[in-house]
Structure 1
Amino acid sequence: MNDLTLTGNTLTMSSREIADLVNRRHDNVKRTIDTLVQRNVIGLPQIEEVSNLGPGPLVVLEYRIGKRDSFVVVAQLSPEFTAALVDRWQQLEQSQAMAVIPDFSNPAAAARAWAEQFELQQAANQALAIAAPKAEFVDRYVEGTGLKGFRQVCKLLGANENEFRLFLVDAQVWYRLGGEWVPYAEHIAAGRFHVKTGQAGNGHNFNAAKFTPKGIEWIAGKWAAYKLQGAA
């Protein structure tokens, strides 16, 4: 399926193909895109009506997503599939290039073509580098049961501790309470943190919040999307 389309002057991929690449339901992918648009992480996509060949309504709505925004969406959904997305874009762009070959006898056209290819490759390399810690985690830790502390997660993601701490605060993942960092209740209920209570040697009670494997996988996707947004 060649799902690359020229939308205006921009090559775009459909939300349906993104869903197929990351093995997610199409409606879940569209909800993620809506959330990222509302947070101004990605631009407002074009919407088009497409005939539905399967069960359900005769016509479904699909989003058209540009290359940069597609990396952000996949980083949010399943960063371990970033490499597959890069491969798919390369396949689609090669097919497009066969149809529109620059006039390399024209120095200006040739320079533009080489510049565009360089920028696309740089974007792909950057997305892979940002998603790599998440992919490594999926390979090594998702099946485990171990809990990880803040510094362990920073090391796993290759994140600066101060920047990552501020990111967790801004994203409303945790907050400061009585000198301790405490996750919001919704994240504890979602199984992303395990809070261990105990008593220090001076008799004071304490709470120690640890990331669960599920929580590390989740926050790694958020962190990847945040870093992609900052690099844009």
Structure 2
Amino acid sequence: MNDRNMIPCEPKIENVNTPLTMSSREIAEVCNTRHNQVIETIERLFKKGVLRESRKTLRDYFSPNGGRPTKVYDLSKLDTLKVVSGYNETLRGKIIDRWQELENASKRQSLAVDYSDPKLILGVVTHLREESAKKDMVIANLRPKVAAYKHLTRIGGSTCITDAAKALGITPRYLFSYLEKGKWIYRRKVNGRYAPYQDKIQLGYMDCRVISVRNADGFKKIAIEPRLTAKGKARLAEFFSRTSSARRAIQ
């Protein structure tokens, strides 16, 4: 066969919104035949009404090497397979393989991001703003915890409620009131002194210590002193850092 009549494969870039086609030039290249023979087959099948999807796709192809333009048809997959239906199995297999390549390339292109699309850009910007807002929310939620751990390192170990209030930056009176209302501590009916609730001890927030105190008569007696553990102080520091009403009580 004369090589001068062979047509080099025409590179094609399909838009993702355009139906996928194969040109008559490409059919000629894949099947190693003359382009004019492919055109003759296409036009004969048009006359018989066999090809129905590609009748209005005739266009001029201008070779980069110059010369007169060539008439080219762009065929749908169905029409392409009809054109090569009379070819031998090897050639039909090559066309099917080529179509598979075109379809795979089209799928990859459809997944590509078109940054010239204003709607897409708006969607990306909106997504980034939402992610930024989520990040800011996480940071805002972490700030009280960070403050709590700073207090924890400063006032490590268990301390009495009065000393804990000073370290937390609030009045002892306010802290006693908060702990009593929050059911961390309660007053014993026997002597009116504070004692920790058992559940707060089990949570590791509070502890108690046996101390010696003098009564009104000057005699020493044994008493229970409620104490805040490091974990309990961290929990309170987190709460007071987050709660605006608590911050207003800081003096």
With normalisation by structure 1, the TM-score equals 0.41
Query: Greater Rg, structure 1 or structure 2?
Result: 2
Q: Which has the higher strand share?
A: 1
With normalisation by structure 2, the TM-score equals 0.38
